[in-house]
Chain A
């Protein structure tokens, strides 16, 4: 049943917020170790899509959802505890959100919640995940200082490290560079390209060029519909749907 290399498979997913339909009959696969990018104008359902993958949509009171999302062949609403799912499928939000504690404590926060106390394990996890997010060299001498003192780009990489510390399978990025300067953006993108060796990455972005730079496959969402999904290089050269070409050439959006 599980075709090799498929990480997420989504079958006929509908998401409604009250009467508003945010995602309509969505079916697609996300392959292991790829960078899957999602583009589309505002209100097209991109964020809803991400939040459906780790069940953050559950936090919205009047949200209804049908269809199925499978992670490694397991239905995420039936075969898995929600906390376990969220540890396997980490998310980095648009705005960097360090918790109001030290850098070190931010990184080990998830581990402490799982009850890991061994200081050696925690130290190791901090170094490993900060190296993976390319923040280690900048902060290794001030791990005990408040995370709020970091710059925006550093905070975002700290948020990545915080997720990585829990050794997830999938990383969801929700417009991770929308609040960052071009240099910080470039660093985050480089980091993502490295991380895909170990993780599956789903990147939602409203920066079309970013999707073209880092994506392997790209999906174009519009008003809750999946318009097109194909290899990124193909979508940006020969899109099938005229709405896709209009969007990526900047005619609307």
Chain B
């Protein structure tokens, strides 16, 4: 074989190998979704979708069992919104500080610290939340248990923060230097430049950062299971125990009968989670594309 043909073959092989990896990653997602659908759909032979989504009680092992996941959705929603309310402002502010203000060495130190935070296993964060944050919240608000939605929100805020900070920081750093110079040359102060030009130009990236952070919070299981108290009831305040969608699956999968209604219900919860994450990613994507144009 001539060297030229060899090179062509190599190019062809590499190209196809990359194509294959790309196709596979999509296929895997599709297969996961199909699997979820197949396992979860058998539930809806005996249960209506409305009763499942909006039913107010989750008693999977009582007789007859009741599979209403509204309390779980509310739990996830409350914990997620709380975590977002804490982590988004702090995360964006931290990203602005690191990208725009912090001097060289402090900047490197902070970035390393944030990355380290991302590397802490969620069970460790959950453990710390359970033994330090829980009792503290219990005493602070004088409530019977410290394992509440608020505890979950604070714990999860710590887990969303690294994602938000590092992606938002990248977006801010990617704003062309010339924008800053143009603003400063017109007599803008540092703060005016940062807020009105840099933050505005980096907004698509910041939205993506927030969305991915929230995605992480919704999908998080271990920490949230340890600190939220796991009571499957509709919470009336953020100081009550809740149970999230993810924690329900993790906690009950082991004790459900394979192929039974309970088992199918857990998979149906998986479908709901999948749809939620899909929607969040879709919104982030839409926003990114619209702003880029």
Q: Which residues of A contact B (CB under 8 A)?
A: 54, 56, 59, 83-87, 90-91, 93, 95, 97, 99-101, 109-110, 113-114, 159, 162-163, 166
Known A-B contacts A100-B201, A113-B192, A113-B196; A86 and B184 likewise in contact (beta carbons under 8 Å)? yes
B179 lies within 8 A of A83 (CB): no
Chain B interface, >50% SS class: helix
Contact of B186 among A95, A100, A101, A110 (CB under 8 A): A110
Chain A interface, >50% SS class: helix
A83 lies within 8 A of B201 (CB): no
B167-184 contacts to A (CB < 8 Å): 178-179, 181-184
Q: A59-B181, A90-B186 are in contact. List 7 more A-B contacts (CB 8 A).
A: A83-B189, A86-B186, A99-B183, A100-B201, A159-B182, A162-B186, A166-B186
Bound CA–CA A190/B89 (angstroms): 49
Q: Separation in Å of the B179 CB from the closest CB of chain A?
A: 6
A110 surroundings in chain B (CB, below 8 A): 186-188
B194-209 contacts to A (CB < 8 Å): 196-197, 200-201
B186 lies within 8 A of A54 (CB): no
A59 lies within 8 A of B178 (CB): no
Bound CA–CA A81/B35 (angstroms): 67
A166 lies within 8 A of B187 (CB): yes
Q: Separation in Å of the A172 CB from the closest CB of chain B?
A: 9
Q: Separation in Å of the A47 CB from the closest CB of chain B?
A: 12
A163 surroundings in chain B (CB, below 8 A): 186
A93 lies within 8 A of B187 (CB): no
Residue of A nearest to B291 (CB): A100
A93 lies within 8 A of B186 (CB): no
Residue of B nearest to A86 (CB): B187
A56 surroundings in chain B (CB, below 8 A): 181, 184-185
Bound CA–CA A159/B185 (angstroms): 11
Bound CA–CA A85/B188 (angstroms): 11
A95 surroundings in chain B (CB, below 8 A): 178
B192 lies within 8 A of A59 (CB): no
